[in-house]
Every structure is written in C-alpha cells, then in structure tokens.
Structure 1
Amino acid sequence: MRKTRQIRYFIFLKDVMILALTCFGGPQVHLTMFLERFVKKRNYLTEAELLELQSLCQILPGPTSTQTITALGFRLGGANLAYLTLLIWILPGAILMTLAALGITYIEKGQLANLTRFIKPMGVAFIMFAAFSIGMKVIKTQVSVLLMILAAIAGFFFPSPYITPIWILLGGLATALKFGEQEKMQKEPIRIEWGNFFLWLGVLLFSAGLGAITHSLPIRLFENFYRNGSLTFGGGHILKPLLYNEFVKFKHYLSADEFLSGLAIVEVAPGPVFSISSFVGTLSMRDWGISGELLGSLVATVGIFLPGTFLIFFVIRFWDQLKKYRGIRASLEGINAASTGLTAAAAFSLFQPMYVDLVSVMTIVLTFILLQTRLVPVYLIIVGGLLMGWASA
C-alpha cells in the first residue's frame, strides 16, 4: 500500500514538472491545463473540486495557480508532498527569470534600449489588458465602479507600497457591508487550526524586525517580498504594479526600462507569473556581484511564494465552513474592484512617458488588439517584439 502511494506521488510530481515547463498565460490558462491533466487524465479529483479549490485560492493573497497546485499536493499527500509540489512548480520559471536578470545586468544601457524598443510598450499593453479583462469580469455594480475609480486615483497619485493593501482592505470592508444581498447558507461551527497562521505572522514580524535592526539588504528584501506575497490579492497581474511602485518608483532598485523588460519576459516564461520576483530580486542586489544577485533571487523567490503557501495550508482546513458566511462572499466584490483600479493606475503610470512617442502608442494598441482577439500566442508576440528591437538596433 505504501509503495502504491509512493508511485502515485511520483506520477503526480512528474505531472507537476510537465505543467511547470508548459503552462503559460496566467491562472485562467493554467486552470484549463490543470483540468486536463489532473481531472481528465489522472482523476486526482473531480472538476467541481478543482474549481472550488481555485475559487478559494482566488480570495487569498498570493499566487493563485501556485496555491491551487500546492493545495492539491497537500490533499493528496500532506505537507511534505505539498512543499515538493511547490518547489517543482516554481523552479523552471524562477531559474529563467534569474538568468534573464543576469543577462540584463551585463547589457549596456544603449543596447538594452534598442533591444526593448518594442518590448517596453508591450509590457504596458499587458497590464492594460489585465486591467480590462479583470474589470469586465468583476465590475458589475455602481459600488464596484466607484471603488475601482478611487483605487485607481489613489494608486496613481500616491505610489507607495502601502497604498495597495490599504485599498484592497477598504474595498473588501465596503462591500462586506452588503452581505444582506447574499444568499443565506446553513452554517456550521468553524474549527480552526492556527498553526500555519501563526507561522505566517511570525515570519512576517520577525523578518520585519530583523531587517529594521540589522539593515541587511538580503533580509530587508526577503521582508519586502514576503509582505507583498502576503498582501497581493488577484494574482500576478496585481503583483506587477506592487513591485513597480516599491522597487522602481519608491526605492529605485530598478529602472522602468528594466522592469518593463522583466514584465515582457515573464509573459513567455513557464509557470507562475510571480516568478517576476526572481528577476526583481536579482537586479536589486546587482551591486553585490553575481553571488549577491543569486542571493537576491533566492530571498525574493522564497519570500514571495512562502506566505501564500502558509495561508492556503491554514485556510483549506476550514474553508467549507467559512465560505457559508455571507460577509466573506460579499467582500470579494470590493477586493476585486480595488485590485482592478490599482492595476489600471500602474498601467497609466507606465504609459505616461510613452504617450508622445507614436511608435510606442501604436505598439500598445496593436498588442492590446492581439491579446484581445487571441489571434497570436503571447510568446510569439514577445518574440516578435524582441526581433523588431534587434533589427532596429
């Protein structure tokens, strides 16, 4: 029996590796591939169970696809299998983004400007498309429209890393007050095991305190990414403006050109969009040499993915009881609206220096149309942009 379980776990991890190398395009595309492999091919769980698991992860901070696949590993084989699942899932994308950052470090600014001539506006188009796509799905009431607009204004005029969590919490609280519109469900007593919650909170407070005392850049970077991973609702497209505000506009660890290049590259990298953190972490420690860059990648990657793992381990145990409370379900409207507004604010901030450049504007428009119509795969759009930049150099 034990040997049978071990074989099953090995097959599952092999499936995870295949997906880690072939999943492109974010949580919605990932979900389709999860359904095909985990439900139809392997029958690890039913379609309804996977969709419910995905819904749970969408309301938690952190990377949705990563939490979904990690939670599946937890259900199949407990914490040990879940951590192996997490490692295998994030490794290919993190390695690729680290290598990309190392390459950019040694490219002259003039060469980088030529190479990313079309990639930078494409990165803006990706964020615009994310805001548009999310908005079309979640903005359905006057309250959500108002929250989206207010969050967009706040995100644009106050580009602090603390604006995003504040507005997401305010949005959730605002619509939680509309709980009376939700259907009543028969509730059961909630039995909570607090271990993983205290582990998540303890790491957050300890890293923040240690960073403040030591002023060590690696420790502060870990805390920065751990905090962002703890407060990012809505997946990788919401993380991008968070990282831009903190590491480009607030701390100036990266230039806008470098960040936009990373945005474009992560769109063609396999696995979770959160692997953009490996790119940002690497460049944040470039002054320490290559060993420092590798350390920056490591602390950023661990920092961004760890909190979501702790939280999904914590919540999954009592999710069946929690989802029956109307206030929880009602808060999702405000969280989604605020996330959409903040994404739009990031897109507008990045577009500002480009609006006088006709080529950049046309590139944004064309990229947006291609994304909307899905006539061309995302990776071909990026490859085309790189080739055009190289040809125009």
Structure 2
Amino acid sequence: MSVRRVRYYLYLKDVLWLSLTAFGGPQVFLAMVLDLMVKKRGYIKEGELWELNALCLILPGPTSTQTISAIGYRIGGPNLAYLSLLVWILPATIMMIGAAFLIVFLQENTPGALSFAKFIQPMAIGFIIYAARTTIFKMVKTTEASILMMFSTFISFFYNSPFIFPLMLIAGGVTTSLKYRNQPKLEGDKSLVISWANFYLWGGILVFAATLGAITKNQSILLFENFYRNGSLIFGGGQILIPYLFTEFVEFKKFLTSEEFLTGYAIAQGMPGPTFSFSSYVGALSMREFGIVGLLTGGFVAAAGIFLPGTFLIFFVIRFWDQLKKYRPVRAALEGINAVSCGMLIAAAFLLFEPLEANAFNILAIIGTFLLLQFTKLSSPLIIAVGVVAGVLYNLVF
C-alpha cells in the first residue's frame, strides 16, 4: 500500500473517530479537529483550518460537514472528500433513524409513549434559546444588524412559511452589502477564475429533483427536494435548521407533531456528529406510513438531501475563495445574512413553545436547561440523559 493510501486511510479513520466522539456542537468539534488533524496528524496547518472554517461559515449548509469535506478535498481531492463526507455523517444518520424507529415503536405499543420525553421536550427549547444567545453575541454587532434581526424575528413568527425564509436571507444580505465601504480593502489581484462544474451540479440536481417531484408526486423524491432546498439555503449552522424544518414539516405539511419534533431535537442534542443529522429523524417520520422501508428511505433520503448541497457549494467556492473574499460587498453581505438567521432562531424558540402548555413545569425546565448550559460545564448528552431518566421516573411514580 502506497504512502498516499495509508495517509488517506488514516484520515478516514480519524473522521470516523470524530463522528463517534464529537459531542457538544461546533465549538467542541473545532477544538477536536485542531487537536487531532492539525497538531497531531498535521494534515493541514492551523491557519488553513481557520480559513476553511470561515469559508464554510459563510456558505449555506452544515458547517462542520463542509469543513471535514474541505479538509479531505485539500488532502486527496474530490474522491477523498466524498468518502470523508460519508464516514462523517453515517453514524449520526443511523442513530437518528434509530430514534425515529424507537418513537414509532413506542407509539404503536405503549400507551402514553412519549411520556419519557416529558422533561426533554421543554428542555429542547432551552437548548435553542442558548444557541440563539450564543449565536447573537457572535454575529450581531451593529445597530443595522440588530434591526434586521428584530424584523426577521417578527416576520418569521407571524409569516412562518418555508418560502419566506430565502427571501429574508437575500434581503438581509443585499441590505448590508450596500455598506461595503465600511469593509477594509484587501490588496492583491481580484480577478476571478471560476470553475462552474460543481455549481452546475448543485443547481442541476435542485431543478431536476423539483421537476421530477412535481411530475411524479413520489413522496421520497419530494422529500429529497425539500431537504436539498433547505440545505441550499440555511446559513448559520445546525441551530438555524430548526425553524425551517418545524415550519415545513410540522406546521405546513403536518408530517410530525410538535411533540415528536421536540423529542427528536432533544435526542439529537445527545448524539455525536453533525447537528444536521436531525434531518434524518424528521425524514424517517415523514414516511412512516410506508412502514420499515419508508422509515429507512425517508431517513437516508433526508440525509442525502440536507448534506449534499453544502458539499457541492464548498467544492465550488474553495477553488476561487482567495479571490472572492477580496470583494468588499461579499464580506459586507454576510452581516445581514447572519442577522436574519439569528432572528429566525429567536422566532423558532417562540414557535416551538406555543404547542406546550405555558405552565410552571415547562417554564422551569426551559430556564433550568439554559442555566445549566450557560453556567456549568455539563455536556449536552449528560443533560439530556438526566432529562430522560427524570421523565421515566416521573412516569413510573405518577
């Protein structure tokens, strides 16, 4: 076996290790990548890692997945990148499909099946509020961004159609791009040399899936298009995914109940790997009427739909990013896109709370989860595990 193949094999083994141990969200993920892939293995330099992560943050799609794919691309080109994508997402995808199977089994065989989730449903909202707080402090730093965030919150709450979200993102980006003169000038050649192959691939699949779904009305194809479209539009990481999925699959299409959605999101907080794997849970339950085959198909179709567009886009942009980032309007637009994303996240917390009873129990569970995340070093999986155990004990006693 050549030295190159050994290096590729070792890289994939490290990706698998991360997929099984990276609990705690993007910050923990980055720290683990820095330690394992930069300091220990030397796949890339530290500066390259921050550069790649910054690039992934400004593209739609799952940031951690794009970062893993981009590192694989730098090491071994497209083939290794696609393999690393598969290795990274597969464990979490299987676990979340398993969670969907568990929910269906309990509902079919046990009265009050989701009683174990009595605590973790409001706790899920605590996680969203904590994510919103963390995201806002990082992304909203100007008066204009604050105003955009407030407008986005209002519109997302009162007009929460899945079709309104992309329009708000575009409007936010255009609004702040007009302030491009506030951005520092970057020296160097700004000429762009663009290879359009991956962009055409991304757009072609989007159009093809939408057209085929409209013609055939096949639910698995329609499901793929739904997730592929969402994966093409979501800026700001996994937490921003929640308002999209809740609006489209709970309120708009009613494939899941709010109770099922919150339970699945809470379970996802206790899983390693990419947060976007929650989509597999939603996809599986969206096709439960077709039995075991439907659950499996829905889960894997959702995973393919949500993860592929971000991968195509990172492969497209990474080739000319060094030139593109020198354009001030491009950098200025990010402020508005991020502010709108934060507004969507705030609205999501309110929308998810609406179906719950506004009683002291739920409010205390939300506040308690937020305080644990904010002021202690307890990991998300441990907090969720405590919530599940508390729910089981409560059900046994009462």
Go from structure 1 to structure 2 and tell me whether the alpha carbon gap of 1:110 and 1:363 turns closer, same or farther (over 3 Å shift): farther
Counterpart of 1:324, as a letter, is K
Q: Using the alignment, how far apart are the partners of 1:113 and 1:297 within structure 2?
A: 20
Structure 1 contact 355–361 (Cα < 8 Å) conserved: no
Is 1:78 aligned with 2:63? no
Q: Using the alignment, how far apart are the partners of 1:342 and 1:112 within structure 2?
A: 31
Q: How many angstroms does 1:185 deviate by?
A: 1.1
Structure 1 contact 159–250 (Cα < 8 Å) conserved: no
For 1:160-219, what per-residue CA distance to the aligned partner results, in whole angstroms no more than 9, with x for missing partners?
111221111111111010000000112421100000000000000000001011111000
Partner residue of 2:156? 155
Structure 2 contact 231–307 (Cα < 8 Å) conserved: yes
Which among 222, 240, 246 is matched to residue 244 of structure 1? 246
Partner residue of 1:300? 302
Partner residue of 2:172? 171
Partner residue of 2:208? 206
Q: How many angstroms does 1:67 deviate by?
A: 0.2
Q: How many angstroms does 1:26 deviate by?
A: 1.9
Partner residue of 2:361? 359
Partner residue of 2:45? 46
Is 1:144 aligned with 2:139? no
Q: How many angstroms does 1:110 deviate by?
A: 4.5
Counting matched residue pairs gives 392
Counterpart of 2:234, as a letter, is T
Secondary structure of 2:61 counterpart: coil
Alignment of 1:1-393 (within 5 A): 3-108=2-107, 110-186=111-187, 187-354=189-356, 356-393=358-395
Q: How many angstroms does 1:376 deviate by?
A: 1.4
For 1:350-385, what per-residue CA distance to the aligned partner results, in whole angstroms no more than 9, with x for missing partners?
122436211010010010001111331111110010
Q: Using the alignment, how far apart are the partners of 1:322 and 1:232 within structure 2?
A: 20
Q: How many angstroms does 1:112 deviate by?
A: 3.1
For 1:279-318, what per-residue CA distance to the aligned partner results, in whole angstroms no more than 9, with x for missing partners?
0010000000111111111111101101011000000000
Q: Using the alignment, how far apart are the partners of 2:30 and 2:306 within structure 1?
A: 21
Counterpart of 1:24, as a letter, is F
Q: Using the alignment, how far apart are the partners of 1:40 and 1:170 within structure 2?
A: 41
Q: Using the alignment, how far apart are the partners of 1:175 and 1:372 within structure 2?
A: 31
Query: If the length of structure 2 is used for normalisation, what is the TM-score?
Result: 0.97
Q: How many angstroms does 1:13 deviate by?
A: 0.7
Secondary structure of 2:354 counterpart: helix
Q: Which residues of structure 1 form unaligned runs of 5+?
A: none
Q: Using the alignment, how far apart are the partners of 2:160 and 2:26 within structure 1?
A: 26
Q: Using the alignment, how far apart are the partners of 2:381 and 2:291 within structure 1?
A: 31
Q: Using the alignment, how far apart are the partners of 1:167 and 1:369 within structure 2?
A: 31
Secondary structure of 1:106 counterpart: helix
Q: How many angstroms does 1:137 deviate by?
A: 1.3
Structure 1 contact 354–361 (Cα < 8 Å) conserved: no
Q: How many angstroms does 1:28 deviate by?
A: 1.7
Go from structure 1 to structure 2 and tell me whether the alpha carbon gap of 1:291 and 1:355 turns closer, same or farther (over 3 Å shift): closer
For 1:104-150, what per-residue CA distance to the aligned partner results, in whole angstroms no more than 9, with x for missing partners?
01213753331110010011111111111111111111101110000
Query: If the length of structure 1 is used for normalisation, what is the TM-score?
Result: 0.98
More off after superposition, 157-166 vs 70-79: 157-166
Percentage of identical aligned residues: 53
Structure 2 contact 258–355 (Cα < 8 Å) conserved: no
Q: Using the alignment, how far apart are the partners of 1:373 and 1:13 within structure 2?
A: 36
Secondary structure of 1:354 counterpart: coil
Secondary structure of 2:323 counterpart: helix
- Give RMSD over aligned pairs: 1.1
More off after superposition, 196-205 vs 155-164: 155-164
Q: Using the alignment, how far apart are the partners of 1:172 and 1:70 within structure 2?
A: 26
Secondary structure of 1:60 counterpart: coil
Secondary structure of 1:25 counterpart: coil
